[in-house]
Structure 1
Amino acid sequence: MLDIEIAQENEKTQMRPITEIGAQIGLSADDLENYGKSKAKLSFDALNRLRDQPFGKLVLVTSINPTPAGEGKSTVTVGLGDALNQRHQKAVIALREPSLGPVMGMKGGATGGGFAQVVPMEDINLHFTGDMHALTSAVDTLAALIDNHLQQGNELNIDPRRILWHRALDINDRALRNMVIGMGGPLSGVPREASFDITVASELMAVLCLAEDLADLKQRISRIVIGYTYAKEPVTVEQLQVTGAITMLLRDAIKPNLVQTLEHTPALIHGGPFANIAHGCNSVLATRSALQLGDIAVTEAGFGADLGGEKFLDIKTPVLKKTPDTIVLVATVRALKYNGGMALKDLTTESLDHLQQGFANLKRHIENMQQYHVPVVVAINRFTSDTDAEVAYLVDACQQLGVTAVPTTVWGDGGRGGLDLADAVLEALKQPSNFTPLYDVNQDVKTKIQTIVTKIYGGADVQYDAKALQSLKLIEQNGWDKLPICMAKTQYSLSDDPKQLGAPTGFTVHVRDITPKLGAGFLVVMTGNVLTMPGLPKHPAALDMDVTADGVISGLF
């Protein structure tokens, strides 16, 4: 059966009312704001009541560098949560919301797969509770207010050539990457160059995901730098006097969303920043609520441990005020063979040689995560094409590094297929976790970037374009250099070149620009050819989607 068919069958016969799911973790009907029978938002009253509750254990799920199709990190996260509950643990899952870009493009949704899914799958992958639309509206409202300020006399003396704020759309649309707006004469605005980002790469997405409450959201929005004056002085949302309006548009979007897995494990799905461009983690509010409502919170960070994993550990945990007690690294035989030089079309063919070559990638990620002094467990997300010899090789190779590796079959077997992984995680949770950050945020910007490049990516040096050096000078002049670093980098390689697979060393990372994101509280470092507005593939998934006259959807991953 296809993922969508499994989800649709379950939704007809087995999905429980969301109030019952909330009751499992101590939430009353009054704590929930229902969006139909199957999904709800946590109310402000519930969030306020939880504020001082103690935290449970935190399990971070991350992965190796994936193939273009993804490797099932969300599936393993969901299956692990289900398995922990089968082991009589009170587990709550915290995931990101899907973006329509990958849903309509190539990678698909973000609700897991097979029998390790969160439901209602169609709702979550499409419009859900409207969070993405609220964010898009807020981003574009701010952009409209900036251009209106220029049109109405430009009291703040904003330089139209130095506006940092981009418009947004939650779909891959390469035609909107670069444009000229304000054409058509004096009544149509001030002509200038402009750009669109995909919504999940916008600063407002990061702000929403890192805000601790509505008051913090408002403060963060007020600090956003939208551009510079002709004298190169920063201009903020607060100076534009629209903080309240933008916060108002996100009043409901800041509330975490509660849904359930196929096995009725509570799941909080909230926020969806990309990990190759943004910081790649679900909201602080959702993760914190999962920690307070359950004994174990299982959360994931986007793409590989070099991206979402590192950003979770160095950007999110200081705000969350909780570090992971265990890190689960998801690996697949096919992704490791791909990293070992095997062609995509041949990945279902057994090849211990390619697997051995590609294992260097997993080894690097294991060593990277061990730098944080947190116990690491490897989850081998097993596909039907994986041979026993390939799986046995991985288990043994990890064992030689002193790390437990556990095959999982949660896609086909649900939580039952993740029981061994759950046992390994429970054992790891008994070990001490002495979290150590990768770098000191008070170090200078170049030192922090160099640390990430050398200690996480395995690179040797960093090269800065003239534009990046100019941006860095402004950052230092304005005292913004003590912020953490959010690297924008390809997800397919440890380097900034997607063609360098495996575990390359000695390479130079090329920095194109550095952008201050004061609302989010980090500096975005643009490397290689990473784009903030992706494009659709030659055959987007949208071509295979349809809906019948009675509303049944097909073709949605």
Structure 2
Amino acid sequence: MSDIEIARKANKKPIQEIGAKLDIPNEHLLPFGHDKAKISEEFIKSLADKPNGKLILVTAINPTPAGEGKTTTTVGLGDGLNAIGKKAAICIREASLGPNFGMKGGAAGGGYAQVVPMEDMNLHFTGDFHAITSAHNLLAAMLDNHIYWGNELDIDIRRIAYRRVMDMNDRALRDNVHNLGGVANGFPRQGGFDITVASEVMAILCLATDLKDLEKRLGDIIVAYRRDRSPVYCRDIKADGAMAVLLQQAMQPNLVQTLENNPAFVHGGPFANIAHGCNSVVATTTALKLADYVVTEAGFGADLGAEKFFDIKCRKAGLKPDAVVLVATVRAMKMNGGVAKADLGTENPDAVKAGCDNLGRHIENLKKFGVPLVVGINHFVTDTDAEVAAIQDYCKERGVDAVLNKHWADGGAGIKGTAEKVVELCEGGTADFKPLYPDDMPLAEKIETIAKEIYRADSVVLDGKIRDQLKQWEDAGYGNLPVCMAKTQYSFTTDPNRRGAPTGFDLPVREVRLSAGAGFIVAICGEIMTMPGLPRVPSAENIRINDKGEIDGLF
């Protein structure tokens, strides 16, 4: 059966029963139908003095067309921990409409390791992304309106730093000219759109600790510069209060359930290739107060997702992860080893071994953060014992266990081995988490540290203009911010076709952006786009309502 067919047959429980598993009183759940709810801010504040549970990060090798299954493993591990008698919850991101209708598909897991309601999660859900889009674009509208009515702040319209957003892949909106049509429409200027998941407002919502912090961070957004290069902030435009009002409900974490009726927090959704790739701080910290084990994920490969989880989210929120699960598949190792996608069903242990270099580099990188790890091999039916053994032997040589997981087919029962290993790592007390670089390192050196330590680049190409910009931000008091790298997810390099563990390359930084409200510097590398495009045959062509009134085509 397909993922959506499995999801349709789910035996869902009322959301109040799921809340009761975490001791959330009914009056603190704001239901959206019968199977999803938001958790009240009042209840979250009441948890402040409770101790935290154990935090487990699920990350992965670089994605390939063969598939890896990071979200599926996150969901399965949550079910597996509950299956061995632990009180566990999962924390994942919400799905963006862009990849749903494009090429990547949804973000609810797969097979018998899914979060439900799958259709709602992959479409409008509780409206959080619409609220973020509206709040972001309200500021854009008020900025242009301020300029139209006399530009009291003396904004240099050549130096507007704030773009609009939309939750869709639409390459036509990347670069355009606003305000054509004469005097009544304002002053023409060049601008463009990013996808909502790249919005600074999305990053702010996912890093803010409460509504007060949210409004302050919104006020800190730099929207433009004056002729003397001094910044103009969102609070100068007087948009921060109204934006916070639009985001008030969106700030509350969403509670849903897995196919095995275990609690799942699904909140926020910045991409990891162009943003920081983690679910919200408020969802994660709330789950840690309510469950003994919290399993969360970070987007794409560990070179992007895990690095940003550690260096941005954990640093900002004061989180200390206890264990890491690094997801890999036999199929992906074969692709890294040079096997074509059409030939992945043929047994080839030698290709698996040849492709393990990518896995090995991620293992080395994760060890630099001081958190113990286990490799989770996400099982496909075409995998053979010899191929699985090739990965396990490779990992054993590097002092790491690799456990075969069959959660896609068997749910929580199929991943008990990894669940037991995760408990062992968490209870072993060996975690000694530390970020990759200190706060006071210069910004250019932070970029170079990530590029050399994680990607293994020989050097970083930063032209004089970019170095001057970084220095100006340091002089303005932003030098202690972490760096968020925007880079292709498919390779350690900026070339998406270079698989494995490449060496002998430079990392070109094309642009840097200051996200003063979110609290990080974005370094845009290579040809990565902050507004993706649709593929030649978008998934939207196959999505429709069938004769029974059910949605077909989501995956």
| TM-score of the aligned structures, taking structure 2 as reference length | 0.98
Question: Which residue type is aligned with residue 518 of structure 2?
Answer: A
Residues in 2 aligned to 1:529 and 1:345: alpha-carbon distance in whole angstroms:
28
Farther off after superposition, 380-389 or 465-474: 465-474
Residues in 2 aligned to 1:136 and 1:21: alpha-carbon distance in whole angstroms:
30
Corresponding residue of 1:421: 418
User: Which of 516, 519, 526 lines up with 1:518 in the alignment?
Assistant: 516
Corresponding residue of 1:67: 64
Corresponding residue of 1:105: 102
User: Which of 443, 451, 476 lines up with 1:445 in the alignment?
Assistant: 443
Matched ranges for 1:327-476 at <5 A: 327-431=324-428, 432-476=430-474
1:549, distance to aligned residue in structure 2 (A): 5.0
Contact kept? 2:166, 2:194, Cα under 8 Å: yes
Contact kept? 2:67, 2:331, Cα under 8 Å: no
The alignment partner of 1:268 has SS state of strand
Residues in 1 aligned to 2:174 and 2:36: alpha-carbon distance in whole angstroms:
34
1:70, distance to aligned residue in structure 2 (A): 4.1
1:162, distance to aligned residue in structure 2 (A): 1.2
Corresponding residue of 2:309: 312
Contact kept? 2:273, 2:304, Cα under 8 Å: yes
Contact kept? 1:467, 1:513, Cα under 8 Å: no
Question: Which residue type is aligned with residue 344 of structure 1?
Answer: K
The alignment partner of 2:156 has SS state of strand
Residues in 2 aligned to 1:103 and 1:502: alpha-carbon distance in whole angstroms:
27
Question: Which residue type is aligned with residue 205 of structure 2?
Answer: L
1:476, distance to aligned residue in structure 2 (A): 2.7
Residues in 1 aligned to 2:396 and 2:546: alpha-carbon distance in whole angstroms:
51
User: Deviation per CA, 1:374-405, whole angstroms, max 9, x where unpaired?
Assistant: 11100000111212111111111111111010
Question: Which residue type is aligned with residue 122 of structure 1?
Answer: E
User: Deviation per CA, 1:502-552, whole angstroms, max 9, x where unpaired?
Assistant: 011231100011111011100000001110000111111111111035421
Corresponding residue of 2:537: 539
Corresponding residue of 1:140: 137
Question: Which residue type is aligned with residue 147 of structure 1?
Answer: D
User: Which of 227, 230, 234 lines up with 1:230 in the alignment?
Assistant: 227
Residues in 1 aligned to 2:503 and 2:211: alpha-carbon distance in whole angstroms:
44
User: Which of 129, 149, 152 lines up with 1:155 in the alignment?
Assistant: 152
Farther off after superposition, 459-468 or 303-312: 459-468
Contact kept? 1:59, 1:299, Cα under 8 Å: yes
1:230, distance to aligned residue in structure 2 (A): 1.5
Contact kept? 2:165, 2:196, Cα under 8 Å: yes
Residues in 2 aligned to 1:70 and 1:170: alpha-carbon distance in whole angstroms:
24
Structure 2 gap ranges (5+): none
Residues in 2 aligned to 1:57 and 1:556: alpha-carbon distance in whole angstroms:
33
User: Deviation per CA, 1:98-150, whole angstroms, max 9, x where unpaired?
Assistant: 10111111111000000000000000100000000000111111111111111
Corresponding residue of 1:241: 238
Corresponding residue of 2:204: 207
Farther off after superposition, 162-171 or 276-285: 162-171
Corresponding residue of 2:2: 2
Residues in 1 aligned to 2:66 and 2:142: alpha-carbon distance in whole angstroms:
39
Question: Which residue type is aligned with residue 91 of structure 1?
Answer: A
Contact kept? 1:372, 1:437, Cα under 8 Å: yes
Residues in 2 aligned to 1:309 and 1:237: alpha-carbon distance in whole angstroms:
31
Corresponding residue of 1:193: 190
Farther off after superposition, 394-403 or 122-131: 394-403
Residues in 1 aligned to 2:59 and 2:44: alpha-carbon distance in whole angstroms:
27
User: Deviation per CA, 1:22-57, whole angstroms, max 9, x where unpaired?
Assistant: 001100101100001000000111111112221000
4+ runs deviating over 6 angstroms: none
Question: Which residue type is aligned with residue 249 of structure 1?
Answer: L
Question: Which residue type is aligned with residue 5 of structure 1?
Answer: E
* Seq. identity, %: 54
Residues in 1 aligned to 2:183 and 2:469: alpha-carbon distance in whole angstroms:
32
Give the count of matched residue pairs. 554
User: Deviation per CA, 1:400-428, whole angstroms, max 9, x where unpaired?
Assistant: 11101001011111011111111111111
1:231, distance to aligned residue in structure 2 (A): 1.4
Contact kept? 1:221, 1:519, Cα under 8 Å: yes
Farther off after superposition, 532-541 or 333-342: 333-342
Contact kept? 2:66, 2:341, Cα under 8 Å: no
Contact kept? 2:219, 2:517, Cα under 8 Å: yes
Corresponding residue of 1:36: 33
Farther off after superposition, 223-232 or 209-218: 223-232
Corresponding residue of 2:322: 325
The alignment partner of 1:430 has SS state of helix
User: Deviation per CA, 1:479-524, whole angstroms, max 9, x where unpaired?
Assistant: 2121101000110001122122101123110001111101110000
Corresponding residue of 1:493: 491
Residues in 2 aligned to 1:346 and 1:148: alpha-carbon distance in whole angstroms:
57
Question: Which residue type is aligned with residue 243 of structure 2?
Answer: I
Contact kept? 2:492, 2:501, Cα under 8 Å: yes
Question: Which residue type is aligned with residue 104 of structure 2?
Answer: K
Residues in 2 aligned to 1:104 and 1:444: alpha-carbon distance in whole angstroms:
40
| TM-score of the aligned structures, taking structure 1 as reference length | 0.98
The alignment partner of 2:159 has SS state of strand
Q: RMSD of the TM alignment (CA)?
A: 1.1
Residues in 1 aligned to 2:6 and 2:80: alpha-carbon distance in whole angstroms:
19
The alignment partner of 2:13 has SS state of coil
Residues in 1 aligned to 2:388 and 2:357: alpha-carbon distance in whole angstroms:
16
1:470, distance to aligned residue in structure 2 (A): 4.2
The alignment partner of 1:23 has SS state of helix
Contact kept? 2:457, 2:504, Cα under 8 Å: yes
Structure 1 gap ranges (5+): none
1:259, distance to aligned residue in structure 2 (A): 0.1
Residues in 2 aligned to 1:246 and 1:345: alpha-carbon distance in whole angstroms:
49
Farther off after superposition, 419-428 or 303-312: 419-428
The alignment partner of 2:304 has SS state of helix
Contact kept? 1:69, 1:107, Cα under 8 Å: no
The alignment partner of 1:422 has SS state of helix
